[in-house]
Chains A and B, each alone.
Chain A
Amino acid sequence: MTLLLVALLGGLGAAARFVVDRLIRGRWSRVFPLATVLINVSGSALLGLLSGAMAYHSLAPNAYLVASVGFCGGYTTFSTAMVETVRLAQQGDYRRSVVNALGTLLLAVGAAALGVLVMWLLA
């Protein structure tokens, strides 16, 4: 049952990523892969909120598991971020490549921390 819910929310997350990616790409035509960065940072913020909701607002562990592993995991993607980092380096754009890899990681960790903090403040 848990596997089924995780799978369904994972599919929903992946579909949401695809739609958000296309919407951002339609408005951002520059080289830097902004769409994936924004997806990964927003998904990390959401996971931080969910983690804080479980820690400080008695969100059920099963609901947390399904939403975090399913939706947040399906929505965010590490592999695409790595492919875009390698592609930038292959084009000789090492500065953007490094900014993309390190910047996404730092912003994502910050966003997750912010999510937890917001739930803690609301407790």
Chain B
Amino acid sequence: MTPAHHLDPRLVAVVALGGMIGTSGRYLISQAMPSHGGWPIATFIENVLGSFLLGALLEALLRHGKESRRGRIVRLGVGTGVLGGFTTFSSLALELERLLAHHALLTAATYAVASLTCGILACLLGVVLAARHHQWRHAPGPHRADQPVSGEAGR
């Protein structure tokens, strides 16, 4: 069932390299932004931002058409590696567990609800913006973005 190329060591290395970059970014943001009042703001920002970027990236690659070798490397390196490593589910889970263990029910509830709703909405926004950008670039007619609009030059 699993073709050998799916576990091509070079692709695993691409994911690992991306993961190193994404994890470093998350670590640096978390260091610069300690949680205030028990609300783990750093994890929240990383997860919501990463969801937006991954939604936009995957939609853009999907709209680009059949996946080329370069497209696959971008998807695995930047998507699976960088953005997968930049966001984290385990920190969210443990932070919620710690909040619940300390009976901070309201904080836990708002953190859980905010993470899921903002994560889903940010991802959806990324998908919609990437789809619109693609339509705009590939729209028929005289106003194509990659051509100068006739008559406007030199004004």
Contact = CB atoms under 8 A, between A and B. Distances in A.
A106 B100 CA distance: 12
Interface residues of A, number: 55
Contact of B87 (A19, A23, A79): A79
A109 to B, nearest CB: 5
B16 A79 contact: no
Give the interface size class of chain B. 35 or more
B96 interface: yes
A82 B119 contact: yes
A15 B91 CA distance: 18
B22 A22 contact: no
Given A11-B16, A105-B112, A109-B96, A69 B23 contact: yes
30 contacts: A3-B28, A7-B24, A10-B19, A10-B23, A10-B24, A11-B85, A13-B19, A14-B16, A14-B19, A19-B12, A26-B1, A26-B6, A44-B94, A48-B97, A68-B91, A68-B94, A69-B26, A73-B85, A73-B90, A74-B22, A74-B23, A76-B88, A76-B91, A81-B89, A82-B119, A83-B51, A83-B123, A105-B112, A108-B93, A113-B97
What 5 A-B pairs are tightest by C-beta distance, nearest first?
A10-B23, A14-B19, A26-B2, A108-B93, A11-B20
